[in-house]
Amino acid sequence: MEQVKDTQISEHPLPACTVSISPHVKSRESTAKIMWTVNACLLPPLLLSVFIFGFQTLIITLVSVFSCVIAEAVSQKLLHRSITIKDGSAVLTGLLLAYIIPPGVPYWMPILGAVFTIYITKHLFGGLGFNIFNPALIGRAFLVATFPVAMTSAWIMPMNDFSIFKYMQPGVDAVSTATPLYVLKHYGLAALIEKYGAVSTMYKDFFLGVRPGCIGEVSNLLLLLGGLVLIFKKYISWHIPVSVIATIGVLTWIFGGEGYFNGDPILAVLTGGVFLGAIFMATDYVTSPTQKYAQLAFGFGVGAITVLIRLKGGYPEGVCYAILLMNTLTPALDSWFQPKRFAPAKGATK
Amino acid sequence: MSTSLLTFAKGGVHPPESKEITERLAIEKMPLPEEFEIPLLQHFGAPCQPLVKKKDRVEEGDLIGQVTGGLGANVHASVTGTITDIGTSIGPVSLNVPSVTISRDLEAPDKTYTPSDWKSLSPQELLSKIKDAGIVGIGGAGFPAHVKLAPPPGTKVDKLILNGAECEPYLTTDHRVMLEKPEEVIVGAQILLRVLGISEGHIGVEANKSDAIDVLRKAAEAQKLDGAKISIDALQVKYPQGSEKQLIESVTGRKVPGGGLPFDVGVIVQNIGTTKAVYDAVVLNKPLYEKVITISGRGISRPANLQVRVGTRIRDIVQYLGGTKPDLAKIVMGGPMMGFAVSTLDIPVTKTVSGVLFLTKEEIDDQPHGPCIRCGWCVEACPMGLSPNEIGLYVEAGRAADTAPFGVFDCFECGSCAFVCPAKRPLVQFIRLAKQKAKR
Ligand code: SF4
Ligand code: SF4
């Protein structure tokens, strides 16, 4: 045991002690820890997509992440705010943006999307915590609106031979192909099943990720595992993901086929980025409600709008716009669903 | 963990307990220092009127400060000696409280107390003994015990709850008192029941003190309780289990409404230290001037559960325990969740101090705070069902005055919200500001 001489106590001042308001201990969690954990949970799907689509996907992702980080630093500099690129939130936006654009697009597209979304949607709205819309989704929506052809056709066929160097040249070599939902919408279920041989093979391929699509939406299995890690760590709760997926499944089953109760719920939830959106984007703290019941309502809204867009709208996917639309309702949901107060004084509730 | 443990429904957090530092250390009597600085305001209410002047000689246990009317509690001399100064001290309730400095008579022997029979005394006589002894709620804001034990006429009280939850991390004083002096706690409980004229008593103890639960149960069985029922209730380990409203909910399921007091739902709550002081006052005729405090944290050379007298300076305690360590970063009077940080050792121990913590840089968190990321963890953690995130945003936006509808006055500053906040936002600080600006 360390002994300090008496004189040291009475004659020498104490080490400078902090004085601040309680509590004096804090949990070990931090904003940066949460963001980096989510980033880590998003890596396995990326690795898989490199195997399926080739290095092109990795390059697109790196371009997107670096542009988001640089855009964040520059935006903060321009707005005279402290630079917080180490907190991982710009990296997260970059990852998510790369995951929801077709892997065959030219490199300048994610750069443009990143600059637009980080500067306008995030920092002009006040920075982390104050943005109304999910930045990655706005990035995608912006690119889809500006470059509709590239953004809806630069899909790459999965390489069954795993020759990962096949598509090193962006845009040029990319064999344009259609996403499953596009085939379903324009050619019907039979055409889609024909492509895969059998229904069960199709489900299996979709679940494991061997099919054309965005980087991050390819493997539902890996996305699900990442989501389970986040739920286990209590970084997200199950309410939003489950309500989104369940709503899409049930509503598609009821309305998605010939007559009623004839739709294919499994196909509906395994395609079109439902897992990525439900687990990693609809659960974004900043743009989703904080209360559990509000989260259920939010998830239901996302699911319902997605199905509506898919069945009645012009886009085969729909999750992206459904989340963005529900983002606008988040403040309202938060004020409709307040936490239950502990026996408040009479007449004192809001 | 067993599911039969009692607990409150909403919110709560699990800070690292850090009780292992001192929970196995037996209560140790600290040798008396030479000088004592006894504040005349150690309680809720007005300061006491000093009954002594400079150069007066006082005996251990003499009354030196008297309640001036209104809310207050008597103050007694902690040692035999001479009054050397009547000045001011840094006190728990406010800075610069009037205080009396006693220079100890190094020859004088310790006063001895012998038990007397209390069962023949009437509730009124018991209550006046408690009042004379200057007993206040120990470990809390220091509400005078005799006032709390005399609810206004017309209120029906049917339950006494003794608060042995000790949910604050680090602190182990109540734990050690329950473990080492279970009979005195049980007799103290009987006295309190007699004063209140009721028969149902509960001692709520967090399940991490199962040894204390066992000895209290044995002691309660061994005592002749004369028809009274004292049950020892094991509580789930969850902060703030020892907060009055949460404890009452855990034990009885009743909820004290906002702005109300425990007797509104028929309950009186007293702390374990207070109960022990009631035993001393009634059975031994010893006023409250001695208590057990936990000295802990990784910044003190030798942590301990110390029996000290009121007026002992923290500096003397630090000296006795071998000094502080070089990586000391924060000194906290009380627990780490609700205590207050101090920057000097020249502070006397008062009746309400339950511990002094010497925390190192690793134990505290001094990361700068960032913007709210709306994770909602604070909302989930708040035992009062408030939205600390929203209150914080209002305060930051300069609208503290508009926060009353958010229930800021229900907040008892337990710190659960700020503990969990990943953005390290100073939510309690925001709420204190809100309380100052908002209209009730
Ligand atoms: S400090 Fe107040 S607002 Fe924060 S958790 Fe405790 S009671 Fe709720
Ligand atoms: S815990 Fe902190 S970051 Fe999360 S909602 Fe509350 S104030 Fe905001």
Beta strands in B90-218 (DSSP E): 97-104, 159-164, 200-206
Asked if B151 and B269 sit in the same domain, the reply is yes
* Domain end marker among B317, B335, B360: B360
What is the full DSSP assignment across A132-156?
A: SS-HHHHHHHHHHHH-HHHHHHBB-
Nearest-by-Cβ selection for B10 from A9, A29, A340: A340
Output the CA torsion sign for A92, A97, A102, A108.
Answer: negative
A318 compared with A170, residue with greater pLDDT = A318
pLDDT value of residue B370: 92
Could you tell me which residues come within 8 angstroms of residue A339 by beta carbon, excluding any fewer than 6 positions away? A291, B10, B379, B382, B385, B386, B387
Tokens of A350: 């809001």
In a shared domain, residues B401 and B345 = no
Give B378-432 as a DSSP string: HHHH-TT---HHHHHHHHHTT-GGG-GGGTGGG-----HHHHH-TT---HHHHHH
Cβ within 8 Å, pair A340-B424: no
B62 with B132, same domain: the answer is no
Which ligand lies nearest the alpha carbon of B376? 2
Asked whether A211 and A189 are in contact (CB, 8 A), the reply is no
Q: Which of B13, B365, B377, B430 to mutate to test the pocket of ligand 2 (most atoms within 8 A of CB)?
A: B377
Ligand 2, residues B391, B425, B427: which to mutate, most atoms within 8 A of Cβ?
A: B425
More reliable by pLDDT, B250 or A56? B250
Residue B15 lies in a domain: no
Cis check: omega of the bond before B15, within 30 degrees of 0: no
Among candidates B325, B337, B424 on the partner chain, residue whose Cβ is nearest the Cβ of A30: B424
Q: Is the CB of B417 under 6 A from ligand 1?
A: yes
ipTM here: 0.88
pLDDT tens digit string along A16-42? 788 888 899 999 999 999 999 999 999
pLDDT at B206: 96
Task: Tell me how far apart the alpha carbons of residues A14 and B345 are, in angstroms, rounded to a whole number.
Answer: 9
Domain shared by B107 and B135, yes or no: no
Domains identified in chain B, total number: 3
B144 lines ligand 1 (CB under 6 A): no
A290: nearest Cα among A330, A230, A324: A330
Final residue belonging to a domain, choices B221, B256, B283: B283
Query: B22 lies in a domain?
Result: no
| Chain A 121-180, residues with CB within 8 Å of chain B CB atoms | 127-130
Chain A residues within 8 A of B392 when measuring between CB atoms: none
Ligand 2 centroid distance, CA of B416 (Å): 11
CA distance A129 to chain B (A): 4
User: Residue A291 and residue B243: Cα distance in Å, rounded?
Assistant: 25
Does B186 lie in the same domain as B331?
no
- Same domain? For B326 and B214 the reply is no
What residues in A contact B359, CB-CB < 8 Å? Answer: 24-25
Domain check: are B327 and B265 in the same one? no
Q: Decide: B434 in ligand 2 pocket, CB within 6 A.
A: no
Look at residue B341 and give its three-state secondary structure. Answer: strand
- Cα–Cα distance, B389 to B407 (Å, whole number): 13
- Is the dihedral angle over the CA atoms B274, B277, B279, B281 positive or is it negative? negative
Q: Which atom of ligand 2 is nearest to the CA of B381?
A: 1
Asked whether residue B35 falls in the same domain as residue B159, the answer is no
Task: Convert the pLDDT of each residue in A122-181 to its tens digit.
Answer: 999 999 999 999 999 999 999 988 988 878 776 666 654 444 444 443 433 444 566 777
Q: Whose CA is nearest to atom 8 of ligand 2?
A: B372
- The one-letter code for the residue type at B57 is R
The C-alpha atoms of residue A220 and residue A205 are separated, in whole angstroms, by: 10
Sheet holding B159-164, edge to edge: B229-235, B200-206, B159-164, B267-271
Spans of chain B below 50 pLDDT: 1-2
CATH number, position B292 = 3.10.20.600
DSSP letter string over A189-224? HHHHHHHHSSHHHHHHHHHHT-SSS-TTTS-HHHHH
A15/chain B closest Cα distance in angstroms: 7
Laid out side by side, the sheet with B63-66 consists of: B49-50, B63-66, B75-76
Q: Is residue B9 assigned to a domain?
A: no
Q: State whether residue B293 is helix, strand or coil.
A: strand
Burial environment of residue B363 by CB neighbours within 10 A (0 to 12, 13 to 18, 19 or more): buried
User: Could you tell me if residue B344 is inside a domain?
Assistant: yes
Amino acid A167: pLDDT: 41
Please tell me the distance in Å from B432's CA to the nearest CA on chain A. 10
Instruction: Say yes or no: B263 and B347 in one domain.
Output: no
CATH number of the domain that B124 lies in? Answer: 3.40.50.11540
Instruction: Tell if the CB–CB gap between B410 and A342 is shorter than 8 Å.
Output: yes
Whether residue B227 sits in one domain with residue B156: yes
Q: Is the CB–ligand 1 distance for residue B409 below 6 Å?
A: no
Whether residues B428 and A23 touch (CB distance < 8 A) is answered with yes
A23–B410 CB contact, under 8 Å: no
Q: Cβ–Cβ of B301/A4 closer than 8 Å?
A: yes
CA of B254 to the centre of ligand 1 (A): 20
A6, A9, A18 member nearest B341 (Cβ): A18
List the strands of the sheet with B97-104, edge to edge.
B35-39, B97-104, B81-89, B57-58
Nearest-by-CA chain A residue for B388: A339
A1 with B322: Cβ contact below 8 A: yes
Whether A11 has a pLDDT exceeding 50, the answer reads no
Residues 256-295 of A with CB under 8 A from B: 285-286, 290-291
> Which segments of A54-188 does DSSP mark as H helices, in order?
55-78, 89-99, 108-116, 135-146, 148-153, 180-187
Please name the residues in contact with B253: beta carbons below 8 A apart, sequence gap of 6 or more: none
Q: Is B433 domain-assigned?
A: yes
- β-strands B267-271, B159-164 pairing: parallel
- Picking from B373, B377, B431, B433 by the largest number of A CB atoms within 10 A of its own CB, the best residue to mutate is B373
Span B17-53, pLDDT tens digits: 999 999 999 999 999 999 999 998 888 778 888 899 8
Cβ of A18 and B364 within 8 Å?
Answer: yes
Angle at B357 between CA B408 and CA B419, to 5 degrees: 35
For A327, the enclosing helix (H) or strand (E) is helix A319-336
Q: Look at residues B280, B294, B60 and name the one whose alpha carbon lies nearest to residue B171.
A: B294
Task: Count Cβ atoms within 10 A of the Cβ of residue B412 and give its class: 0-12 exposed, 13-18 middle, 19 or more buried.
Answer: middle
Cβ of B391 less than 6 Å from ligand 1: no
Q: Give the Å distance between the CA of A25 and the centre of ligand 1.
A: 15
Ligand 2 pocket, B374 CB below 6 A?
yes
CB-neighbour burial class of residue B296 (10 A; exposed 0-12, middle 13-18, buried 19+): buried
Q: Which two three-digit tokens encode residue B256? A: 């004290």
Per the CB < 8 A criterion, the answer to whether A225 and A237 are in contact is: no
Residues B121 and B104 in one domain: no
Q: Is B101 contained in some domain? A: yes
SS3 per residue for B191-244: HHHHHHCCCEEEEEEEHHHHHHHHHHHHHHHHCCCCCCEEEEEEECCCECCCCH
Q: B145 is in which domain, residue-wise?
A: 114-283
Q: Supply the DSSP string of A253-299, one letter for each residue.
A: HHHSSSSSS-S-HHHHHHSTTHHHIIIIITT-TTTS-SSHHHHHHHH
User: Which two three-digit tokens encode residue A76?
Assistant: 């903060």
First-to-last C-alpha distance (Å) of chain A: 55
Return all residues near A187 (Cβ < 8 A) that are at least 6 apart: none
Do residues B127 and B268 share a domain?
A: yes
B239, B263, B283 - which closes a domain? B283
Q: DSSP secondary-structure letter at A16?
A: P
Q: Flag whether B372 is in a domain.
A: no
List pLDDT tens digits, range A175-206.
Answer: 456 677 777 777 777 777 777 777 777 777 77
Judge whether B25 lies within some domain.
Answer: no
In this complex, do B341 and A20 lie within 8 Å of one another by their Cβ atoms? yes
Q: Is B431 in the pocket of ligand 2 (CB under 6 A)?
A: no
Q: Using the CB atoms, write b or e for B267-291: b if 16+ within 10 Å.
A: bbbbbbbbbbbbbbbbbbbbbbbbb
B295 interface with A at CB cutoff 8 Å:
no
Ligand nearest to the CA of B394: 2
Tell how far the Cα of B394 is from the centroid of ligand 2, in angstroms: 13
Chain B residue with the nearest C-alpha to that of A26: B419
> Burial level of B295, CB count in 10 A (0-12/13-18/19+)?
buried
Whether the CB-CB separation of A240 and A282 falls below 8 Å is answered with yes
- Residue A280: the pLDDT is 95
pLDDT band for position A346 (50/70/90)? low
